[in-house]
Chain A
């Protein structure tokens, strides 16, 4: 079910499949939970749950080295937890991987009350990680841009999912 102005999980999944994603390495979060049911039902995608986000980066590196096409799906809080693993296992190993990051606390231009949101973009900038904000379905082509940049530059590229508590629950 898609609501005008929201981000359709079907479109996000279609973007992943368009770029040949085989594995989604993930830890659930409130902003991207709506993808779970779709991904779990899709036989072309294997879900690899992690208990802590840093493990997602090393696991994704192994998947890529072995010829698979991983995506990392985590929340911004977990992204910040993952700093050294992201540095060493993806940037340090030239791994082209897209990070789908739930942007907890994102308010567009509203009043920010969540330090998770405060530090998300400065964190990405500190690591020189390119990122794209996706708030609704019309932004979905930016996901393709992220995949293309990751592949071209052999680096992680982030997609910030700014659509909180929508999708299936709209």
Chain B
């Protein structure tokens, strides 16, 4: 088991100028990233959609790497996205799934069959050309540079320690430093997009 923040810190030196969709790890990534205008912290527009969103972004920006920090709860809700990605084969797409085995934002209830699903095998079976799984930080640190140098799509499943929230949503500290509208506007401006 790893801490999500430590994974993000290990990834950061290998980011290059990639676009990062930080998913449920946004509160950590906001403190680590040095290129906020290339980050999309969107909160939770609708659960299960981050991977297909990031795929769309990767297809629209094929010259830039797109990195997604997904969650296993989101992925379980939309497993079909794995075949979508595999069919499109975006060479610029890096799909990290941070697997805490539970719905942390609703009190830590386990996701279905939390302990024994091999997400890397699901991705491989759906057709991702590269798929990995890590349970300790040292192994990831050794391999992250090589992973980011691979041609995508790449899938990486990572076991993380749950950060369970169990207070009413209205009483929680905000996870985002900008609204999602502002984050989108900042990235589009950074990329010179005005459609």
Contact = CB atoms under 8 A, between A and B. Distances in A.
A binds B: yes
Interface in A60-108: 60-70, 84-85, 87-89, 92-94
B59 interface: yes
B149 interface: no
Contacts of B60: 22-23, 62-68
B37 interface: no
B188 A65 contact: yes
Contacts of B41: none
B56 A85 contact: no
A89 B195 contact: no
Nearest to B83: A51
Interface in B47-106: 47-50, 52-61, 78, 80-81, 83-84, 87-88
A89 B191 CA distance: 21
* B46, B78, B181 pick with most chain A CB within 10 angstroms: B46
Interface residues of B, number: 34
A57 interface: yes
B184 A93 contact: yes
Contacts of B48: 54, 58, 85
Contact of B180 (A51, A59, A93): A93
A55 B78 contact: yes
B137 interface: no
Contacts of B45: 58, 61, 88-89, 92-93
Given A85-B46, A88-B45, A67 B53 contact: no
Contacts of A62: 52-60
Contacts of A56: 52
Given A51-B84, A56-B52, 6 more contacts: A48-B88, A59-B55, A62-B53, A68-B56, A88-B44, A93-B181
7 smallest beta-carbon distances between A and B, as pairs: A62-B56, A66-B60, A88-B46, A58-B49, A51-B80, A88-B45, A68-B60
Interface of B: 40, 42, 44-50, 52-61, 78, 80-81, 83-84, 87-88, 180-181, 184, 187-188, 191, 193, 195
Interface of A: 22-23, 25, 46, 48-52, 54-70, 84-85, 87-89, 92-94
6 contacts: A46-B59, A48-B56, A61-B45, A62-B52, A70-B56, A93-B181
